[in-house]
Amino acid sequence: MRVAILRYPGTWSERDFAHAFSVLGVEHEIVWHEDADLRRFDAAVVPGGFTYGDYLRAGAIAKLSPATAELRRAADEGMPILASCNGFQIVCEAGLLPGALVRNTGLEFRCDWVTMRVESDATPFTAGALGELLRMPIAHGEGCWVADPRTLARVEDEGLVALRYVDARGSATPEGNPNGSLGNIAGVRNPQGNVVGLMPHPERCVEPLLGGSDGIRMLGWLAASARPALSTIS
């Protein structure tokens, strides 16, 4: 298992992902967006940051990068892709996931810890975790997930909500919602389940020293699922 960590101009969480994968023992490589060839990899992450300074809209300019075209190809072929924070904004802009991320309703940049409930385990990043509560840090000003009513209904009906913000008691209340996202939606998946995006940062909580280790729940499987050994191919 070898994971590509994409770096666009202005990405800032790629080294946090690299550190997380080092902690978890997952082979990884930071890949510059202009050189992205994901055929050498088994999975990809799109980290957070402020690509292209968030000019125009968060993720808008990055969607035209060669790396995003490559992501689209890899997503179509079923590669597991995790997009966090600005990465989530990029893949939504690129149309790989439904909806869009807009300014937090409170207009504040929120740097805090949130609790999410796993709403779909039909993705490699949440497999076997249905209903579990995960505590992860957030750091964003434009994390309010929105969609038109028809898209929202489709996302809910087809079970594309991967994660929902909840309060301390595990209920999806306004108190548990840090940014005003519709339906308390913290993360969504594509219909195939191989692409997952979320605003929180799993890479920043993989060891107790960082205040929590629930990120392992999302990233740890990468360490377990090794690439098939050549010797098994006859």
Partner 1 sequence: MNFTATIHVRPKDEVRDPQGEAVAGALRSLGLDIADVRTGKEIVVRFSAVDRASAAREAERMGDQLLANPVIEDFSVELG
Instruction: Report d(CA 229, CA 125) in Å as an integer.
Output: 23
Please, which residue, 149 or 228, has the CB nearer to partner 1?
Answer: 149
Q: How far is the CB of 150 from partner 1 (least distance, A)?
A: 11
Active site residue 201: yes
Paired tokens of 107: 């207009």
- Strands across the sheet containing 133-140: 27-32, 2-7, 43-46, 81-84, 195-198, 185-189, 161-166, 110-118, 133-140
Please, which residue, 151 or 213, has the CB nearer to partner 1?
Answer: 151
Active site residue 207: no
Binding mask 130-159 for partner 1 (x = CB under 8 A): --------------x-xxxx-x--------
Active site residue 203: yes
Catalytic residue among 28, 33, 140, 201: 201
The number of CA neighbours under 13 Å toward the Cβ of 53 is: 2
Question: Which among 52-60, 154-162, 187-195, 222-230 is the span making contact with partner 1, rule CB under 8 A?
Answer: 52-60
Instruction: Classify residue 46 as exposed, middle or buried by CB count within 10 Å of its CB (0-12, 13-18, 19+).
Output: buried
| Residue ranges binding partner 1 (CB under 8 A) | 56-57, 60-61, 64, 92-93, 99-100, 102-107, 144, 146-149, 151, 180
